[in-house]
Structure 1
Amino acid sequence: MKRNETPPPATQQELLAVLKARFVKHMNRHAGIDWSAVQARLEARPEKLDSLSKMEETGGEPDVIGTDAQTGEYIFCDCSAESPKGRRSICYDRAALDARKEHKPHDSAQEMAAAMDIRLLTETEYRQLQELGNFDTKTSSWLETPPEIRKLGGAIFGDRRYNTVFMYHNGAESYYGARGFRGLLKV
């Protein structure tokens, strides 16, 4: 499936069923939000289902975590307990990937996110997600890195250890089997 391609109707219904089941199971993530309103928005914007399908296929377990106060859009985020399995062992961005002379990873977080039409979480969004549960207790996730840090060759990532959310830095070209990224999509 190409970028921004609408999934076939049968696939849409299967995905909607998975998303609804997850929504109902984790009501604490979206108190006060009604599934029928979310589903109506998704059905009105079927191209967003493509992104959610890709999030699901790579192990992200996307779920609604709130609404954008300014636009009213529903915010979907990867809510898998650990960084999505299908998005690990990647460096931060294309520049980092190109800078590696050997042992290059297969992709970068920024490029994978762009191909899925989602974006990486900011530090603030990552901390807000961590208020909804314990995420990344064995893995870590690349985060949107401020330009001033990236310009110096670094990138930031977060995880949860010792019941505390930590933010760290690393060279953007580094990659680890336990580091991936979480995406965010507004619908």
Structure 2
Amino acid sequence: MMQAPRGRDQWLLFFAVSILFIALSAGLRMYALPLFALLAAGVVWWLLRGPTPEQTQSMERSLYLASTELQEVVGAYESFCDSPAPEMLADRTLYRPALMDPGVDSEPIQRFFFEYQAARRFLHRLPARMSSCSSLDQLEHLLTITDERTASLQVAWREAYIAAARLGTDYRVDPHRGRELPGGDDPGDEDAG
């Protein structure tokens, strides 16, 4: 659905149509109905015209920036898991190993794993969703969803990071939870043998 004019544009359009209708009906009675029909068709066309390329590009840039922010949060966890930096290695092995274990019995960490997987799927599907949007309203809705997912993942990551620090290296594993890491790696492969 295309957007109607907002604010000043809407009032200018209303004012112009009103003045034109009054002028037409007062001076050109015989031509008033056909001219009014033509004017009404022009107004409907103007109201239903699509967004300008600049508006579309601006919304797409906003969506790109929002998705980049979501990717940064996903990347923060992936760096935590994979970085060879000594401080990251110490963090994931000595201080917060529970963040590497999807079987950990901790609600904040499980919530983060859920949000993390959802964010990865969302980012994977986002280009196709963007290309299928046919209006600014749809792009705005997608931007809102992206912002909400980013905020949710940021909160979940922060809470999981704190919870993992509280648990330290002495934590319980729920035997009913899967042992597959969120990135797809199975930590049990190295221990099997």
Q: Normalized against structure 2, the TM-score is what?
A: 0.24
Bigger fraction of residues in strand: 1
| Larger RCO, structures 1/2 (Cα 8 Å, 6+ apart) | 2
